Amino acid sequence: MNLKGLKSGERTVLDHVFWANGISRDALASASAFSKTRANAAVAELLEQGLLEETGEQVPTGGRRAETLRLSRHLGVLIGVAVGATGLEVGVLSPDLTVLAHHSEPANVGDGPGPVLSRIRALMRELLAGCSVAPRQVIAIGIGVPGPVDFDSGQLVSPPLMPQWDGYSIRDDIAQDFNAPVFVDNDVNLMALGELWRRQRSLQNFLVVKVGTGVGCGIVCHGQVYRGANGSAGDVGHICVVPDGPRCHCGNLGCVETMAAGPAIARMATDAAEAGQSPMLARLLAERGGLRLQDVAQASRAGDMAANQVVQRSGALVGQMLASVVNFFNPSHVFIGGGIMRVGPLFLAAVRQSVYHRSLALSTRHLDIQYTPLGDRAGLIGAGVLAMQESLRNMEAV
Amino acid sequence: MNLKGLKSGERTVLDHVFWANGISRDALASASAFSKTRANAAVAELLEQGLLEETGEQVPTGGRRAETLRLSRHLGVLIGVAVGATGLEVGVLSPDLTVLAHHSEPANVGDGPGPVLSRIRALMRELLAGCSVAPRQVIAIGIGVPGPVDFDSGQLVSPPLMPQWDGYSIRDDIAQDFNAPVFVDNDVNLMALGELWRRQRSLQNFLVVKVGTGVGCGIVCHGQVYRGANGSAGDVGHICVVPDGPRCHCGNLGCVETMAAGPAIARMATDAAEAGQSPMLARLLAERGGLRLQDVAQASRAGDMAANQVVQRSGALVGQMLASVVNFFNPSHVFIGGGIMRVGPLFLAAVRQSVYHRSLALSTRHLDIQYTPLGDRAGLIGAGVLAMQESLRNMEAV
């Protein structure tokens, strides 16, 4: 890996190749607004240095070369980390974001940053060893966390789900084992960044909404992730949906997070089981000692009426929150991710119905609401995109 | 006026001078990232062509020149038009957005585009004649309208307040009398653009909320006006604030516009007057045959308790809507404009209380909520900024 001392044109070429995830020479010249001569010279230099590689077939007639240019695996690897409220995932990715190795396991962010990050460092070392990659070959590390992040310092700021992490330097912690640059962002921002990359930046204005233990939103505006004046943009979990609803941990009444996220779904399902409304939920409750989001999802997919009602109630409330957001932001797409994806189409249908009912016709005329196509991998891919994007951005061009 | 055939560097210089509203040579070189030599050469050429002018005193010691560079009045004039639901304003502005002449009068957009635009063209001709400026000296015309606009075509799209204007070509209408390019945008977007210019683009992420006959919001994101996927971004008037509230003309219940905008304020005040709760409102009602927003504002400023309650109720509801928007967008500033400004500090206090109560601490830690500093002129200045910005953008650089 040798990302220093590149010419500015070469950096631009690497950036376009990364975001296009493979591109022909002609398309590259057109995308970079360079002359073909200039683009080809930069490509030749980058191939020579081993930073780019070519794939695809030679045209035997001697016509123009149709190979696809990709970032070279010789650049090194990226490490992506997705920290959730109840689990963590670590992955080793190639520069084109192929997942080379990954591992996920339950975790409790409430244990504080020390033990959680220590475990993450151990997993990083194990996964690298499993891929026969040395730590010095790590280009950069991207980490997503479920709370508001001050992007420049890479620190969480007053995170409600993980108060012990407030102001803790995740970078310094990781630096105990790794010399690579570390970039930290909110988990949903990274899901949005991952989707921006997957679509090769063709979508300019869209949202990613994560529904799991909490409710959060990643915003892409003018083709860039938007973090807001204080890094708390997209903090939609505390938008009020029922003015006289139950009190949320934030102190207000009827926040969508406290009414419709994973714990609320589990609570509503438990109530239904205890009220004798669903033998299936009652059985799951007895077997497991408590219901989780995935249990309700399982019951709903199996057609349990009470579980379906709970899912529809949650979807309607998330949709009510989204209706306000869609009126304000007029996105082209809303991608929904997080644990709620296990529920399947019923939740999505309830969200759509609620949004289309409450939003203005003009805002929803072309609005596309779907589960995030990156699925469970959205957080990990997004962390990899962050690591590569920031490495390319921070290269010293000469 | 001679904006064609400029070199790209000269266009960049004009753009920086416009947005800085006067700038020294040193600051210009630094802002444009040009070398001083390159910046000075472009400035010399533009001074020679009469597109820039210098103001300020010569330094007699022969030290470096400290003059301020401005766009030259020889460039021509801009015309700004602000069409409201109940009035219109036309102004002639210099390239540095000094208002040279302006006129406002009541109007009813419900009369349709034909009569309203015909009147606007007549006012343009009168105002230009009053300034002794020929129509061919008009650089460009900016027009703000109270509805969603497809920016590229310059046409209103399904505007609820002015259905007869749907798809009408405002550009072709104005072209009957003027050869200058015409740019059309939503009125609140232009208020936001005006504020962006006033702050010399130093604020990157803020909102302007207009409360008058309706409620709308202009969004600045990453230092640019954000219009959304279909041009309807900022359409916050139909965000629900009272789920079982009265039916709005959009078909839904409890929209902030139907609960808290000018007509709702007038209606609540009329109810108070008729219920014998306020001798002052009753007297105004008897005198005028009906109460308008400005009557309630007058009574509130005079300390009338019933009027104050109406104003506080409206402010609390607007604040409730804004709390959702602030959680989502995390702006640095919210500027409030429109007819509601006549009410004064009481409305603002109610909005602030409601937002700070309902938004997350991190979103509001540095949030500044105030009336738009451009006041009644915000729409006109914004229309002028649009005209100049788009003219500079559309210049053919060689």
The answer on A236 and A169 residing in a single domain is no
A17 and A46 assigned to the same domain: yes
Angle between helix axes B305-329 and B345-358 (nearest 10 degrees) is: 40
Residue A8 at interface with chain B, using a CB cutoff of 8 Å:
no
B308: in domain: yes
Closest partner residue to B158 (CB to CB) among A217, A332, A361 is: A361
pLDDT of residue A60: 57
Q: Which of A226, A323, A327 sits opposite B221 (nearest CB)?
A: A226
A138 contact partners, CB below 8 Å, separation of at least 6: A76, A77, A78, A79, A128, A178, A179, A180
- Same-domain pairing of A219 and A349: yes
Give, to the nearest 10 degrees, the angle between helix B262-274 and helix B293-301.
Answer: 60
Provide the token pair at B346.
Answer: 């009481």
| Global pTM value | 0.92
pLDDT the model gives residue A398? 47
Question: Is the residue at A3 inside a domain?
Answer: no
A96 and A137 share one domain: yes
User: If you measure CA to CA, which chain A residue comes closest to B157?
Assistant: A362
Decide if B228 and A157 are in contact by the 8 Å CB cutoff. no
Report phi then psi at B351, rounded to 5: -60, -50
A158 reaches B (C-beta below 8 A) = yes
Contact call for residues B336 and B351 (beta carbons, < 8 A): yes
A348-393 per-position pLDDT tens digit = 999 999 999 988 778 888 899 999 999 999 999 999 999 999 999 8
* Residues of the domain holding B43: 8-74
B65 and B106 housed in the same domain: no
Q: Among residues B244, B247, B228, B245, which one has the least CA distance to residue B236?
A: B228
Tokens of A59: 């045209």
Q: Would you say residue A386 lies in a domain?
A: yes
CATH code where residue A61 lies: 1.10.10.10
Domain finish residue from A39, A74, A109: A74
The list of chain A residues with pLDDT below 50 reads 1, 398
Supply the pLDDT for residue A64: 54
Please report whether residue B2 resides in a domain: no
Q: Does residue A146 share a domain with residue A69?
A: no
Q: Is residue B328 part of a domain?
A: yes
- Classify residue A276: in a domain, yes or no: yes
Q: How many CB atoms lie within 10 A of CB B35?
A: 10
Distance CA A97, CA A381 (A): 7
Question: What is the CATH number for B142?
Answer: 3.30.420.40
Q: Is A45 exposed, middle or buried (0-12, 13-18, 19+ CB in 10 A)?
A: middle
Structure-token match 């240095």, residue found: A49
Same domain, B350 and B231: yes
Domain check: are B244 and B312 in the same one?
A: yes
d(CA A303, CA A298): 9
Dihedral, CA of residue A360, residue A366, residue A367 and residue A371, to nearest 10 = 160
Name the CA dihedral angle for B5, B9, B14, B19, rounded to a multiple of 10 degrees: 140
Q: Are residues A389 and A334 part of one domain?
A: no
Note whether B362 contacts A329, CB cutoff 8 Å: no
Domain end residue (candidates: B22, B39, B74): B74
Residues of chain B predicted below pLDDT 70? 1-5, 57-66, 396-398
- Residue B332 touches partner A, C-beta closer than 8 Å: yes
A148 touches chain B (CB under 8 A): yes
* Count of domains observed in chain A: 3
ipTM entry: 0.91
Contacts of A365 in chain B (CB under 8 A): 230
Same domain, A221 and A328: yes
Site from B207, B230, B249 to mutate, A interface, most A CB atoms within 10 angstroms: B230
Interface test with A, best of B240, B248, B250, B329 (most A CBs within 10 A): B329
Which chain B residues are closer than 8 Å to A229 by Cβ?
A: 205, 330-332, 366-367
Domain boundary among B74, B92, B113: B74
Alpha carbon distance B145, B127 (integer Å): 20
Helices (H), strands (E): how many in chain B? 14, 14
Q: Which two tokens stand for residue A90?
A: 């670590």
Of B315, B313, B367, nearest to B341 by C-alpha is: B315
CA–CA separation, A348 vs B241, rounded Å? 24
B391 to A168, B140, B143, B174, B385: CA distances (angstroms)? 49, 7, 14, 17, 10
Does residue A70 form part of some domain? yes
pLDDT at B398: 47
CB atoms within 10 A of CB A282: 18
- Shared domain for A254 and A325, answered yes or no, is yes
> Is A60 in the same domain as A29?
yes
Between chains, do A228 and B363 touch, taking CB under 8 Å as contact?
yes
CB B81 within 8 A of CB B141: yes
Stated as kind and residue range, the H or E segment containing A105 is strand A99-106
Residue-wise pLDDT for B264-291, tens only, equals: 999 999 999 999 999 999 999 999 999 9
Please indicate, yes or no, if residue B1 is contained in any of the structural domains: no
Burial A66-91 (b: 16+ CB within 10 A, else e): eebbbbbeebbbbbbbbbbbbbbbbb
Nearest CA in chain A to B225: A222
CB contact under 8 A, A231 and B330: yes
Question: Edge-to-edge, what's the strand order for the sheet holding A182-186?
Answer: A99-106, A87-93, A77-83, A138-145, A182-186
* Chain A residues with beta carbon closer than 8 angstroms to that of B363: 228, 230, 232, 235
